[in-house]
Amino acid sequence: MSLTSLMLKSIEYATPFVGLSRLSAKLTDAKLGKFTQFLIKNFISTFKINLDEVANSDINSYETFNDFFIRKLKEGARPIDTDCTAVFPTDGTIGQAGSITAGRLIQAKGIDYSLKSLLGGDPKDAHIFDSGIYSCIYLSPANYHRIHMPIDGTLKKTIHIPGRLFPVGQRNIRNISDLYTTNERLVAIFETAIGEFCIIMVGAALVGSIHTTWDGDCVRKEFLIKNYDNENIRFQKGEEIGYFKYGSTVICICKKNSAMLNNDIASGVPVYMGRKMLI
């Protein structure tokens, strides 16, 4: 571990990000009247939010900051590519994408992390996706924060892994090892036409909660596995499956030989929900 990495990790561990994130969640979910409108307008100005694509552009109608943060878009604002195997589940920027090699995924140049740890530690889950393909998408505060299904699929299992809430900005990604396997996350495994498909929603600093359409807000302290084999929870490509309250990361993983990454995908490239991810 480099000196920079050691210093950053020491600082991050000393900072109470979990407590700050819980406090942030309460404040951003509070109805604060004119102050809420001030926060929203300042946020729009700071991050240059395009109100033309927002379903409800009446700022005064939002009672809390998070009501606006998880805003819905107008129908058709994110066309769904119907000619590909899978689309990007959210807006954001590609962190890394490629093949899983020897059970490891790339976090940044010179830093990788364990597939088994990412998925919660069960070697059977890791075996399913070993040598498969992954795509890691970082969501900045400016991005649309609802998460959509990349491919038609049926929910089979979720794994909630408690952890830290370190920031997932570029400085930490490039310097702190095992960042994605240290932070809190929700792993969702779906059965699809190309086999098992995994979506990992990674928490981060100031993320009030990870929300799914089938289980609501994921605010837990314990490791928890839920099986959905008998519930027939199905989603179509492009259908909403959840959202983040504030920025974070989504990692998609598919099995070996099930599909290929679209050829224009590379680290640092901005992407939009519905755009071609797998061919």
Beta strands in the chain (DSSP E): 86-87, 92-99, 104-108, 111-114, 133-139, 146-148, 153-161, 185-192, 195-202, 210-212, 216-218, 224-227, 234-235, 240-244, 248-254, 270-271, 276-278
H or E element at residue 46: helix 34-47
Catalytic (active site) residue 215: no
Q: Are 151 and 86 within 8 A, CB to CB? A: yes
Catalytic (active site) residue 57: no
Distances (CA, A) of 42 to 28, 53, 59, 78, 236: 14, 18, 11, 25, 36
Catalytic hit among 21, 91, 125, 145: 91
Catalytic (active site) residue 148: yes
Nearest Cα to Cα of residue 157 among 183, 178, 187, 184: 187
Catalytic hit among 21, 24, 135, 248: 248
Catalytic hit among 21, 145, 148, 209: 148
* Residues marked as catalytic: 91, 148, 248
